[in-house]
Structure 1
Amino acid sequence: MPILRGRVVPLTEVGELADGVVSFDGPMIDYVGPAMEFDGELPELPEEPPIILPGLIDVHCHGGGGYGFPETDADGIAAAANFHRDRGTTTLVASLVSATEDELRERIGLLGAAVDTGLLAGIHLEGPFISEHRRGAHDPERIVPGDPDMLARLVEFAGGRIVAVTIAPETENFDKLADVLADANIVLSLGHTVADYEHSVHAMKRGWRVSITHLFNAMPELAHRDANFLTAAMAAAGRGDVVAEVIADGVHLADGTVRMVFDTIGADNLALITDAMAAAGMPDGRYHLGVLDVVVQDGVSRLYDPHGEGAIAGGTATAADVLRRTVFHAGVELTAAATAAAATPARLLGVADRVGSLRAGMNADVLVTDHHLTPLTVYKDGLAWNS
């Protein structure tokens, strides 16, 4: 029976505990509270207590450990998922990139098997109904106008395994696409767009669960005399109408920008993500993201370009890396950063009754770190995880 003692950040009304205990016997948590109130044998509290957090939740991840979800085989899918779980991500959504219908069906079939075993929490389709003018690391030949029939076929084929789809508000047949997702209880994620303000405001009211795909990236910059998608997205997130994804890795966003969105929008409306691709945790070199060639230099992944000016192509950080940078570089308070790394994405996925916080009756998905937020032990369903 694991009895974990340290600085507990439960992300509940209990609040942070300087000397707390989390205990579980099996897959469910049975106690979270002050050590002095725990009815059992207590382990000693080290001079530098560990930090005990809910397992991290990443709703936008293209791979890691040398394997990418858009292009690898079943063994690679398992290796990528295990890479992230080893490092504290206990709930992971596998993201794809724009592709043909046949290619997406093949990917969904492979990833779906990992969803069925619990290794993945679901599938995210990033595209293909996005703007070619803000395509980022998407193959322009695989970006297509909005096709509700195609989306409906993919959703039916996936059988409940798709949890989010990124769509540009200006794509053709947007409202019909949104209806397909709403009917299937799938998150409508808005991004890779040049939509004007009016289309953006309309789109953000079209779903019962709406997110913004990697805020600031693959969208127009904030312009005070030209309200646009970003203007609408920040306002909607500030009101709590949408959840905005944030890649706080020091590459996609400056640390000061991360601090700004936490201070203005609030952790309850932000989801820290990695947007990681195959190169996460790997040395610099050549990789793939879908069908495109990627070069990683100094830990930054970009589409191959002979002049080194290719678009950023996903991230190379883990969720724990992103959490650590948010706290120690952006200066965000730990409870707020952890809320965006676990509780808010759990709510977005509709699983906050099981994961994303620490309280009795929740799944025993727990991350134990040192005081630098470096992962020490990961528990998934009450078991110490070791891939």
Structure 2
Amino acid sequence: MIAIKNGTVVTGGESVRANIYFEGGKICAVTPKDLPAEKTVDAENLFVAPGFIDIHTHGAGGSDFLDGTANAFLTAARVHAEHGATSIVPTLTSVSTEKIEAAMAVFDEAKIQNQNGANLLGLHLEGPHFAASQKGAQEERFIKPFDKNEYEAILTGSDGRILRWSAAPELPGAKAFAARLKDFNILPCTGHSDADCNCALKAFGWGFRHVTHLYSCMSSVHRTNGYRHGGIVEAAFLNDFMTVELIADGAHLPPELLKLVYKIKGPEKIALITDSMRGAGMPEGKSVLGCITDGLPVIVEDGVAKLPDRTAFAGSVATCDRLVKTMVQLAEIPLSKAVQMASQTPADILSLAGKGQIKEGFDADIVIFDKDIHIMKTIVGGKVVYG
């Protein structure tokens, strides 16, 4: 049995002094008692938290999950682990069905080979059924209406690999699409959409219970012929049960909006995400969003990825430690609540059993960091993968 002793355990939105004991990849005890252990990690003056869970990332370390190789998955998983993530949901931008199917095949290979990175939980398809007016950095040539034959082919071949799928619920066929996702235990998410408030609330009943990167590439309050109408943002605020995710990199959303969302939704309904592209963990400069061979050219500067003409962001270069730091230092949110939004809430949104908390019987996915949220050690399934 391995012990982590003398640290401040941050879990479940609270902080307590306790020792953690784990064996066989599972947490055996969380207690102030001093129990015998074969190996001890001293966490004096450090914080011990559940490993961060990033449910929306496109890559890191110079690799994108659309590159078509297992090594791309492994590289990104390793870099994210170095920054405190113990589980990630690889995300694919809008691409052809063939590239989605290729990524699913490579995902299996990478999952088997993954020994030194964050868990590869399953895929997130971000598109291609979006509103072109809210495409953001998505490539318009791939954006299309719902095509039942196409998405049925993907679902039939998914074999449990897909955890979530983001789409615009105002498009014809969205209700039937959501129903099919539920048949495969896939979470329908509202994203890159121009739906008005009423449509978004109606779609919640169809299964669109989560909002992809709130405020980014979606409708908000607007005027038509002088009359104001709410959008997806207002629907998320009105519906207490709707969950949201925030790109808390300090660039996509200013502190006042981070504070506002936290005040309205609370930590139980907010997941912190990186939405990182391949530039995460890399020097700034020219880069590519999507597949390295035919993706979208972008430039990384000022701590964020931008389109070359700088008219819009093109994903972030954040890592999970930066998300937590942003919420604590810029949004002035308690550390315990920021950690909750980076671990327990993402696990709850995707119904990940045994993850997101430091609790007896849960997976030994643990991160240790200092007061400045510098990652000292990352443990995945009881194995140290960093530090």
Structure 2: runs of 5 or more not aligned: none
Show the counterpart of 2:57: 61
1:206-244: per-residue Cα shift (whole Å, max 9, x none)? Answer: 11x7210000000123459321222112222xx12x210
Show the counterpart of 2:217: 218
RMSD: 2.0
Q: Shift in Å at residue 45 of structure 1?
A: 7.2
Kept in 2: contact 1:68–1:278 (CA 8 A): yes
Matches within 5 A, 1:123-142: 123-142=123-142
Higher strand share: 2
Q: Shift in Å at residue 117 of structure 1?
A: 5.4
The CA distance in 1 between the partners of 2:42 and 2:83, in whole Å, is 23
Matches within 5 A, 1:264-275: 264-275=264-275
Q: Shift in Å at residue 337 of structure 1?
A: 1.0
Show the counterpart of 1:287: 287
Show the counterpart of 2:101: 105
Q: Which amino acid in the other structure matches residue 23 of structure 1?
A: Y
Show the counterpart of 2:21: 23
Is 108-117 or 24-33 further displaced after alignment?
A: 108-117
Show the counterpart of 1:348: 349
Show the counterpart of 2:159: 159
Is 249-258 or 70-79 further displaced after alignment?
A: 70-79
What secondary structure, in the 3-state scheme, does the structure 2 residue paired with 1:356 have? Answer: coil
Is 183-192 or 209-218 further displaced after alignment?
A: 209-218
| Runs of 4+ that moved beyond 6 A | 41-46
The CA distance in 1 between the partners of 2:172 and 2:136, in whole Å, is 20
Matches within 5 A, 1:148-297: 148-207=148-207, 210-223=209-222, 225-236=228-239, 239-240=240-241, 242-290=242-290, 291-297=295-301
TM-score (norm 1): 0.92
Show the counterpart of 1:79: 75
Q: Which amino acid in the other structure matches residue 332 of structure 2?
A: G
Q: Which amino acid in the other structure matches residue 169 of structure 2?
A: P
Kept in 2: contact 1:283–1:299 (CA 8 A): no
What secondary structure, in the 3-state scheme, does the structure 2 residue paired with 1:16 have? Answer: strand
Kept in 2: contact 1:23–1:29 (CA 8 A): yes
Q: Which amino acid in the other structure matches residue 326 of structure 1?
A: M
CA shift in 2, pair 1:310/1:68, >3 Å: farther
Aligned residues: 373
CA shift in 2, pair 1:71/1:310, >3 Å: farther
What secondary structure, in the 3-state scheme, does the structure 2 residue paired with 1:253 have? Answer: coil
CA shift in 2, pair 1:136/1:267, >3 Å: same
What secondary structure, in the 3-state scheme, does the structure 1 residue paired with 2:286 have? Answer: strand
The CA distance in 1 between the partners of 2:201 and 2:362, in whole Å, is 36
The CA distance in 1 between the partners of 2:156 and 2:112, in whole Å, is 16
Kept in 1: contact 2:196–2:219 (CA 8 A): no
What percent of counterpart residues are identical?
31
The CA distance in 2 between the partners of 1:374 and 1:289, in whole Å, is 27
Q: Shift in Å at residue 129 of structure 1?
A: 0.3
Show the counterpart of 1:385: 385
Kept in 2: contact 1:248–1:255 (CA 8 A): no
CA shift in 2, pair 1:299/1:44, >3 Å: closer
Q: Shift in Å at residue 113 of structure 1?
A: 2.6
Q: Shift in Å at residue 349 of structure 1?
A: 1.4
